[in-house]
Amino acid sequence: MTGVSDASRGQRRAFNSAERVALYLAADGRCSGCGQLLAPGWHGDHMQAWSKGGATDIVNGQALCPNCNLKKGTASMADAFGLREWQQEARERYHGRNGGEAGNFLVVATPGAGKTTFALTIAQDLIDQGTISRLVVVVPTAHLRRQWAEAAHRKGVQLDDTFVNKSGTVGSDYDGVVVTYQAVASSPLLWRKLTSGRALVVFDEIHHAGDGENLTWGQALKDAFELATRRLLLSGTPFRSDAKPIPFVYYENGRAVPGYNYDYGMALADGGVVRPAVFPAMDGESKWRRSGELATTSITLAETDEKTVPPALRAALDWNGEWIPSVLTEAHAALTQARIDTPDAGGLVVASDQSAARAYAAILERITGERPAIAVSDDPEASKIIKAFAESTQQWIIAVQMVAEGVDIPRLAVGVYASRVRTQMFFIQVVGRFVRMRGDEDETTARVFIPSIEPLLSYARDIEKTVDAVLADEEKRVRETQESEGDPDEPPSLIPTIEVIGSSVARHHATIANGEAITTEEKIRAEAVLSAAGSALPRSTTPEAVALILRLGGQAAPAPEQRDPTPTHTTLSDRKKDVRRLIKRKVGKLSVARGVPHSHIHSEMNQRLGNKITDAPLDSLYKRVDLLDGWLKEEE
């Protein structure tokens, strides 16, 4: 491999050895930026950025020390990649640590934050330095091979996503390959040979290295990639080593220690990255008996314990019962509501197996009149199905676990967690499919329907506490700014063998919001309020929505650990952007409570204040915040 290729321009991305020698001599062995002596690992830099058409030619090249090139990269790479602040910060930390201990660097970043872009940025940096000449990306599923190859191609990097072990060698016109963990484990010595030179290995969702029969994948990865120059490890969630430690990961007290961490709370506070989410928790009665026994067990999901959860959940998720059809009906009503504001909003059902996925599709087809998309791992067309759904306006897609990681469908707004997997990591990965924002104007609050069992309720509460704390912190900053500035117009300077008997219709157990749960009793009260209100409330208002109103505005949850406070803004446009973001968060919260579209709320504010949020002066924006606070208080 001679560098990152760009077939459309017929030129390579990196300077070759002879050109690097010429650049070094032309600079008299000193950095063309700061003048210090060049050390091993110096960068061959394009004066006119390659991403903007700059040629890989010595007349367009200069020798820079890593520090100068990174300073330049803060602007140029942000332009080329659209880097977010965390990506640039993590990039600088990576290079500051020279790729981490023994060339290993772990990044834990919430789903949707942009780990792929970050990894490709690091790869191009290392190519510029001459540190690597080949990129290998290891992924958990075949679907992700194609996704990585497409993302890399958009950055000018050509990765072979069709490579098979029997090929033996990588085509000379590729810059590297994308391969699955399973493929590496089946032939580790081949991959040891392919990466024993100047290679960067990127492990996508590295916690999967602990998978595989008898936990053999981890050892295979060590054998395959211990000779690689650099290893970049990525994960969407923190993880532990409760069995066998994963190679290349540093642990403290059994928990993986990242070189850089960017969690959901940080992303929510930054804005423009993730959405808030609420979790309607659905109760119901499950019936089953164990094989060979006559006695039938009957229990509600909310009353289950560690022993009864597996069979009760299996019974609830059985498509011949009444629970799952009723939950799918509720979820479709929520999606229909969401599509008023966002016409292409989509829904996802995460099923336990292929049989369930197909049965749920038949149920949804009866409910909606439209056949949902089905994506299962054994289907060779699964990747195409997911991609087609992402680009369409189809209402529902049903998938087995394969959709939990790395699948980018930003239009997802409503979900049904119908999987028997109860680990926190999997739950967070699934939720990650729904919280990815589509831009600064996205006001969607994601709704993920879950069975009312532990530990799912605890996982949901943890997420909602983060949402509530971030919103409270955001409002505090906006209020403090308002109070300190005076006139706002002045710019400032394993399941046992059982026989499922059936399940009842699902009934509301709780809605997880603001870290609290709305009880069944409160929902009954909400139904009474809705009945008494009659036509005074919109017909689309559901008992669940009214129940949620009763819990809004409760005690603030403890604030999560945060990074340094947001720097004080010095421009009016920055201040207005902060207040608009707070307004949109509150509108999303009120929309869920009232069961009305965002547009209705904005329209009412426009009529009262005589302007629109897009052109309102700062003092009017503050009035919108006060107005929303009043409406939210009325709903308590």
Q: Is the pLDDT of residue 224 over 90?
A: yes
Core vs surface per residue 21-42: b (16+ CB within 10 A) or e: ebbeeebeeebbbeeeebeeeb
Q: How far apart are CA 626 and CA 632, in angstroms?
A: 10
Q: Is the pLDDT of residue 563 over 60?
A: no
Q: How far apart are CA 238 and CA 218, in angstroms?
A: 17
Q: Please write the tens of the pLDDT for every residue from 332-374.
A: 999 998 898 889 999 999 999 999 999 999 999 999 999 999 9
Distance of CA 17 to the CA centre of its chain: 39
Range among 78-82, 178-182, 290-294, 295-299 rated most confident: 178-182
In the chain, what are the domain boundaries? 5-262, 469-491+536-634
Q: Which residues contact 561 (CB under 8 A, 6 or more apart)?
A: 265
pLDDT of residue 141: 83
Paired sense of beta strands 43-46 and 61-64, if any:
antiparallel
Q: What is the DSSP letter of 16?
A: -
What's the rounded mean pLDDT across residues 249-255?
88
Q: Please write the tens of the pLDDT for every residue from 55-78.
A: 888 888 888 887 777 666 444 444
As beta bridge partners, residue 43 has 64
Read off the tokens for 603: 């329209």
Q: How far apart are CA 414 and CA 434, in angstroms?
A: 7
Q: In this prediction, what percent of the chain has a pLDDT beyond 70?
A: 79
Read off the tokens for 560: 């999560």
Q: How far apart are CA 23 and CA 15, in angstroms?
A: 9
Q: How far apart are CA 360 and CA 328, in angstroms?
A: 8
Domain formed by 5-262, architecture: 3-Layer(aba) Sandwich (3.40)
- Dihedral sign, Cα of residue 300, residue 302, residue 305, residue 306: positive
pLDDT of residue 9: 36
CB atoms within 10 A of CB 545: 24
pLDDT of residue 72: 62
Rg of the chain taking only CA atoms, in angstroms: 27
Q: What are phi and psi of 10, to 5 degrees?
A: 65, 30
